[in-house]
Structure 1
Amino acid sequence: MAAQDPFSLAINAVENDMANEVLDRWRDTAEQHATIEVLPPGMDMKTWPTVVALFQEILGDDGVLVGHQHRIRYCDPYAESPDEQEKRGSSAALLPATVEQIQAVLKLCNRHGIPIWTVSRGKNLGYGGPAARVKGSVILDLSRMRRVIDINDRYSYYTVEPGVTFFDIYRAIQNQQKNIWCSVPALGWGSVVGNALDRDHANQVCGMEVVLADGTLVRTGMGALDGSACWPLFRGGYGPSYEGMFSQSNFGVVTKLSLWASPSPEGFMFCRVDVQNEDDLAPLIDCFQPLLLHHTIQNHPLIGNLPREMVKRGQRAKFYAGSDAIPDARLKEIQEELGIGFWSARFALYGPKDIIEANYKRCEKAFETLPGARLTGKATYPPAGKKYLSPEDLPPEERTVETGTPSLLALKAVEYRGKDGGHISFSPVLPPDGSLAIAFYRAAKKICASHGFDYFGGLHLYPRHLTMINMIYFDRQSGVQRQNANKLFVALVHLAREHGYSEYRAHIDYMDLVAEQYDFNGGSLRRLNQRVKDALDPNGILSPGKQGIWSRKDRQGGELHKLQSIGLSDSPP
């Protein structure tokens, strides 16, 4: 978002141009607001320049950003509020390149009580981006820590630092001709580590290196055995396992992480199934669930509704001119115009040809029970002389995320309601049960419509759960849409709780609200998190308020109360 070199990480020039167009728009929007100097909490104007100079001694002049260029790079590009800087603007950004620099920064921040908000690359779009929760925080940006430490295709894992993007790891795998495929998200410019820590790939994590708030360096699992070759191979280690504790938390700064990957397959088939009717969602989910549980399908299917398909074909105004939710009758017309199902699912099959063909037949048999379902599949196998398939063996247009190929094509979706678009992601977790999913979908769609929004759904299916991600798109130039998006999100959180569900991650504005929903035994899990926080970070400097976890000083009258006073927290002290 800023005065940086043009973005060039994507695999092709078209996506790089798209990214730079979006970055320029974010910068232009940010430039509309004057830069105000923000100081860390409790810091005065006399002391702050001295502290900045000490940061520069640690990181070099180019490793410390303050003022205008810092502001336009480290704000939420999809912020609902035009006065975000006044509410939670950060004071500086620090860009370390080594563990030792992080340790020195933490020592200085502990001495002065300066809150730090850690980001790997700051691309957590729809959840706050690189912005901090507490006004005056310094942003600890780990994007310069960009080493791909190891790629091992004998055991199918890789070890990286937080600044490594999905484009970086993809290129490294191809350049080293390693026979592994990685899982990738919709947008490949984000951090592999940051993405895993937010739970998208948490099941593949095996081994972390973490700097605690006091500067102590810890390796989890077998990494605690100095020089162990089993660190990225065996999760258990000896004693308690801590990987989960450093996911979605503010207990430490993760500086290295290993992820398990998939061996390169001997074949790949991209599959799609369309169903015609809105109510077909329930039987569609029920068809998928046993196929996933029995590993017939080895990746996770993604089910999208009609509006989710529409965004690939242009802005909303192309299909409907009204400001209200698109009526069902018009949706039916659009469906007929596009010639697609109301729900469309995509998934993949992997393995030798006989395995793929056998599994495809199982899928055909399963979907035959759903009237009107249309299943298609296209298989690709290695060229002559090769045992394993590489994504590079496919035509560029067929290198989808299912092949481990990162992309930025989904970036344009944010323009659904306007060129200067924003979105919030609402992501509750449900059982993979069709009747429960359709009931919640109906209720959520009704609430979306009452606030003037289409239900924009993407359901990610797993053997034992699903995440029903609802993208709330709004035009950032519309104050009404921004306000209604906020009201809608809060209403959806409460609706989910009424149904017995809640989110697995949350935008920074709503972290306390979502934490409150986890209310078993009076919120005993949250209190446990607070006790751990107080033990590991007694000064409360690391990402205060992340996931609703606050230190004792903030709970007893500090930053939490300030957030409540400006409406950025519904949490009790």
Structure 2
Amino acid sequence: MSSKRIFTTPTLAEKHSGIPDRLIDKARAAKSLVYEGKTTSDTTPRQRGIAIPQGISKQRFFEAIEELKKELGSENVELNDKELKEGWYMEHPNTHDMMPILDSEELVASALVYPGSTEEVVKIVRWANKFKVPIFPISMGRNLGYGGAAPRVRGSVTIDLGRRMNKILNIDPDDYTCLVEPGVSYYALYEELQKRGYQHMWIDTPDLGGGSVLGNAVDRGVGYTPYGDHWACHSGLEVVLPTGEVVRAGMGALPGNNTWQSFPYGFGPYSDGIFSQSNYGIVTKLGMTLMPNPGGYESFMYTFQNESDLAPLIEIIRPLRISNILENVAQLRHALQTVAIKGKPRSTYWTGEGVMPQEVYHKELKKMPVGDCEWVYYGMSYGPPHIRKYKLDIIHQEFTKIPGAKRIDPSTLPADEYFWSRDKIAAGIPDLEELLWVNWMPNGSHIAFSPVSPIRGKDAEALYALAKKRHTEAGIDLMPAFCVGLREMHLIVEIVFDSKNEKMRRAADKCLRDMIDDAAALGYGEYRTHLVLMDQVAGTYNWNDNALMRFNEKMKDALDPNGILAPGRCGIWPARYRGRGWEMGQGSGEKSEGEGVAPGAGTRL
């Protein structure tokens, strides 16, 4: 592909999912690298035709679509009968996963609908109940590594909430809160705060800023300021239930309330939790707390020389994190990711088969500003200079107990060093750099292994060892990152693969499934996972003869008697799908569908 091609990206002024003007050059460069790594066309011809969901005839389905067009306007309903376009992060498909672990036509929508209000979402839900058509809501569809915009049930009608429901409904500069619709990205919220002159408030952003503030919180995503637990920072939900009823949780249930965004609980049972990582309702409004500007900040980075430094370093991190000397999510990354984040393909450094030898990436690290190492720690200190100095001195004293530990002087780092991207993110400034490591493979795609453990050295070693064993067997390069919260630790392992290479896709799938089983046997469970892995992960939470899943299924059947809303999400299948082979596990291969749905199940609403 010609390097002279000029790449453009929609801006926020042009599209709700666009890029801020300040990141246009970075977006152009990132898109260029993505397309340089593509070895096949950006589009995939359809071999199987339009995906009609099981349980409805083709004729009846088209009749249903025509009725929906009359309800919402034909411009807001479209069939997914064209070739599939992959795109990239800022211009991704809403019909399927742009980074498929299965065949591209497996987890694919039959049609798309674009509601403009909660009232129109209600109309769609009632329509779905009438025709027993599965629906799958997305906010912006950028849930990359976990399934993107793909529906779990092939042929579902995707409800793209973000295209027309993208308003920032409120920003309260006194209470430090906001209220947003599903199509508000971190980019959009940040830029609006700057536009209004609200520099006294920060947002918290994940590694990339193009995702939905609402969607990320509902999926219990995280960011990198002290407000990094996004679900914990929400206050206020408006939800359309699978029957079409609308509820407001917490203080929102009180007409004329004035604290919906400030106090999350209200009165009685706390119901918000059942709408996170579930298929019990469609969240159309979300309140979030915003962080006070701490009056200054200072990023820092340490490198550690040996693989064996992991356990003693985690033991040092734990008390510092619990006491908030380490104030944000502590991120300890493997050095191979430092090489991969440059955005160049693996073949730049090595063309052999199997896992890249350590000496190869160590040779590259020696040429880089960070220097040769095995682990890299990215952190941030907040507050006025004298407060920061106090905390940073403690951190330095503790980290340098590890022989060979080195604090990297930021003044020695060039402007394009990845450190500066982490510096922005930890200061609540959304960026666009993180996914450059996906270019490690041609047609770069990734899928995540995300177990949670205590913050202990022995747990870090156990998880690292099992990941290394399975990656070696699969011939996949290991890029782990330990993200340490206040009382727990997430290990995020990103498997990078070529989505056009079936052998590599299968190897990635097996590697992940093996790690899930290995981790569960040691007492570690995933906090979040890809669509195709949800059944397996849910199955590991099986204490007391699967009591939790039986409880989840009872709630699903009560709230969604026709089983129309995102069936199978997080392993929760409604009654009409159960026992028909829809669950995926070891050996499922490319097959994501079961054998039909129960006829006549549920109630017509």
Q: Could you tell me whether the CA contact under 8 Å between 1:512 and 1:569 is conserved in 2?
A: no
Q: What CA deviation, in whole Å up to 9, does each residue of 1:28-52 have, x standing for no partner?
A: 4333444612223222232223211
Which of 352, 364, 369 does residue 322 from structure 1 map onto?
352
**Match for residue 19 of structure 2?**
10
Which of 180, 199, 208 does residue 187 from structure 1 map onto?
208
Which of 78, 82, 89 does residue 65 from structure 1 map onto?
78
Map 1:437-456 → 2, pairs under 5 A: 437-456=460-479
Residue identity opposite 2:177 in structure 1: Y
Q: Could you tell me whether the CA contact under 8 Å between 2:533 and 2:584 is conserved in 1?
A: no
Note the C-alpha offset of 1:90.
1.7
Residue identity opposite 1:216 in structure 2: E
**Match for residue 176 of structure 1?**
196
Residue identity opposite 2:345 in structure 1: Q
**Match for residue 409 of structure 1?**
433
Q: Could you tell me whether the CA contact under 8 Å between 2:421 and 2:433 is conserved in 1?
A: no
**Match for residue 176 of structure 2?**
156
Of 426-435 and 473-482, the range deviating more from structure 2: 473-482
Which of 151, 175, 179 does residue 132 from structure 1 map onto?
151
Note the C-alpha offset of 1:333.
3.3
Map 1:22-421 → 2, pairs under 5 A: 22=34, 28-34=41-47, 36-69=49-82, 71-72=84-85, 73=93, 74-82=95-103, 84-85=104-105, 87-143=106-162, 144-178=164-198, 179-200=200-221, 201-313=230-342, 314-338=344-368, 339-376=371-408, 400-418=424-442, 420-421=443-444
Q: Could you tell me whether the CA contact under 8 Å between 1:282 and 1:438 is conserved in 2?
A: yes
The answer to whether 1:522 aligns with 2:545 is yes
Identity %: 32
For 1:325 and 1:464, the matched residues in 2 are separated by 33
For 1:254 and 1:378, the matched residues in 2 are separated by 42
Of 251-260 and 28-37, the range deviating more from structure 2: 28-37
Cα distance, 1:511–1:272 mapped onto 2, change above 3 Å? same
Cα distance, 1:34–1:556 mapped onto 2, change above 3 Å? closer
Note the C-alpha offset of 1:398.
8.1
Residue identity opposite 2:130 in structure 1: R
For 2:409 and 2:317, the matched residues in 1 are separated by 15
Q: Could you tell me whether the CA contact under 8 Å between 1:414 and 1:421 is conserved in 2?
A: yes
Q: Could you tell me whether the CA contact under 8 Å between 1:212 and 1:536 is conserved in 2?
A: yes
**Match for residue 386 of structure 1?**
none
Cα distance, 1:27–1:299 mapped onto 2, change above 3 Å? farther
For 1:95 and 1:263, the matched residues in 2 are separated by 35
Residue identity opposite 2:108 in structure 1: G
- TM-score w.r.t. the length of structure 1 is 0.90
**Match for residue 546 of structure 1?**
569
Note the C-alpha offset of 1:435.
2.0
Of 534-543 and 15-24, the range deviating more from structure 2: 15-24
* Helix, strand or coil at the partner of 2:393: helix
**Match for residue 480 of structure 1?**
503
**Match for residue 602 of structure 2?**
none
Residue identity opposite 2:461 in structure 1: I
Of 38-47 and 158-167, the range deviating more from structure 2: 38-47
For 2:526 and 2:125, the matched residues in 1 are separated by 31
Q: Could you tell me whether the CA contact under 8 Å between 1:457 and 1:469 is conserved in 2?
A: yes
Residue identity opposite 1:281 in structure 2: L
Note the C-alpha offset of 1:560.
5.0
* Helix, strand or coil at the partner of 1:359: helix
Q: Could you tell me whether the CA contact under 8 Å between 2:184 and 2:213 is conserved in 1?
A: yes
Residue identity opposite 1:162 in structure 2: P
For 2:318 and 2:191, the matched residues in 1 are separated by 34
Cα distance, 1:292–1:68 mapped onto 2, change above 3 Å? same
* Helix, strand or coil at the partner of 1:271: strand
Note the C-alpha offset of 1:23.
8.4
Residue identity opposite 1:184 in structure 2: T
Gaps of 5+ in 1: 380-394
Q: Could you tell me whether the CA contact under 8 Å between 1:510 and 1:569 is conserved in 2?
A: no
**Match for residue 389 of structure 1?**
none
**Match for residue 391 of structure 1?**
none
For 2:421 and 2:588, the matched residues in 1 are separated by 48
Q: Could you tell me whether the CA contact under 8 Å between 2:9 and 2:19 is conserved in 1?
A: no
Q: What CA deviation, in whole Å up to 9, does each residue of 1:100-146 have, x standing for no partner?
A: 10000111110110001111111111111111111221001111210
Residue identity opposite 1:17 in structure 2: R
Note the C-alpha offset of 1:220.
0.9
* Helix, strand or coil at the partner of 1:97: coil
- TM-score w.r.t. the length of structure 2 is 0.86
**Match for residue 388 of structure 1?**
none
Note the C-alpha offset of 1:283.
1.8
Cα distance, 1:170–1:346 mapped onto 2, change above 3 Å? same
Residue identity opposite 1:251 in structure 2: Y
Note the C-alpha offset of 1:62.
2.2
Of 536-545 and 6-15, the range deviating more from structure 2: 6-15
**Which is richer in helix?**
1
Gaps of 5+ in 2: 1-7, 12-17, 86-92, 222-229, 412-418, 598-605
Q: Could you tell me whether the CA contact under 8 Å between 1:71 and 1:90 is conserved in 2?
A: no
Residue identity opposite 2:111 in structure 1: A
For 2:548 and 2:350, the matched residues in 1 are separated by 45
Q: What CA deviation, in whole Å up to 9, does each residue of 1:412-438 have, x standing for no partner?
A: 2211022x1111111111111112202
For 1:227 and 1:23, the matched residues in 2 are separated by 51
Q: Could you tell me whether the CA contact under 8 Å between 1:432 and 1:461 is conserved in 2?
A: yes
* Helix, strand or coil at the partner of 1:185: coil
Residue identity opposite 1:299 in structure 2: N
* Helix, strand or coil at the partner of 2:497: strand
Residue identity opposite 2:439 in structure 1: E
For 1:474 and 1:532, the matched residues in 2 are separated by 37
CA RMSD after TM alignment: 2.6
Note the C-alpha offset of 1:397.
6.8
For 1:27 and 1:98, the matched residues in 2 are separated by 39
Of 444-453 and 550-559, the range deviating more from structure 2: 550-559
Cα distance, 1:530–1:344 mapped onto 2, change above 3 Å? same
Residue identity opposite 2:302 in structure 1: V
Residue identity opposite 1:336 in structure 2: K
For 1:326 and 1:396, the matched residues in 2 are separated by 27
For 1:453 and 1:479, the matched residues in 2 are separated by 14
Of 264-273 and 434-443, the range deviating more from structure 2: 434-443
Cα distance, 1:18–1:355 mapped onto 2, change above 3 Å? same
Q: Could you tell me whether the CA contact under 8 Å between 2:122 and 2:244 is conserved in 1?
A: yes
Cα distance, 1:492–1:397 mapped onto 2, change above 3 Å? closer
Residue identity opposite 1:298 in structure 2: E
